[in-house]
Amino acid sequence: MSRTMLRPTSEPASVAAKTAVASSPVSLSRPTRRRPSWVLVGSLLVGLSALLGAWVFAATSEQLAVVVAARDIQPGEVVDASDFRVVEIGGSSNLRAIQSNQQELILGKSARGPIPAGTVLNTDLFTDQGGAVPAGMVVVGAALDPGAAPTSGLRTGDAVNVLAAQRTVTGQTPGAAAPTASLLATGTVWSVESTGSNSTGMWVSLVVPSASEGSVVQAAADGLLRLTLVGGG
């Protein structure tokens, strides 16, 4: 009798699994480790680059050291170095300003008009001492009670009419013409100051024609001076 040997058609599952594991590729290289020091160095380089760029921008931007008013300067005031301060601003070809090394151009000069604190100064704002008052004009002062000026906010440079009020006579004859204030001059407010911390009055200096000087001074001395604002039109 003959015997026939049959070859199995497939391997058992356990043997196939072992074969698959044995045939899996194995990496021979060492695992890569993160290096925090390189990350830190890169961050520092980025920061230094930003700082360098900011420095280059600031160095190439044109800056000028110019003179500005350190306080409010009134018309006619003679200025000295304490009235100025130096600031740096961006340069401009259209800027007319006295630079920090040119202060001698205006030292000892008189302000032509009111100059608010912080104003960038130039030579046109000043004149020689005594030249701030226009030719043919004089500056007179008067202490005004409340109601003698049109507003408590009267400002330097305001155009005003200067009038002399007439005293009302007690027991005036019936039918007589009522007293009327007379126009003395048209002038400009030179400066305004309060007459005291507890007072509602003010001290006003006025620029008026020299021909009206006497009448304006007399009206101020008599307490009859009155002001009205002149419209721009």
Residues paired with 182 in a beta bridge:
164
18 or 152: whose pLDDT is higher?
A: 152
Q: What is the DSSP string of 111-168?
A: ESS-B-TTPBP-GGGEE-TT-SSPTTEEEEEEEE-TTSSS-TT--TT-EEEEEEPPPP
The percent of residues in the chain predicted with pLDDT above 70, rounded, is 65
Give CA torsion, residues 207, 210, 221, 154, to 10 deg. -10
What would the pLDDT profile of 106-154 be if each residue is shown by its tens digit? 998 888 878 889 999 988 888 887 777 888 999 999 999 888 988 888 8
> Which uninterrupted H or E stretch holds 209?
strand 202-209
Per-domain residue ranges for the chain? 63-127, 137-167+180-229
210 or 172: whose pLDDT is higher?
A: 210
Show the CA angle centred on residue 30, arms to residues 28 and 34, nearest 5°: 150
Q: Give the C-alpha separation, 157 to 167, whole Å.
A: 30
CATH class for the region spanning 63-127: alpha beta
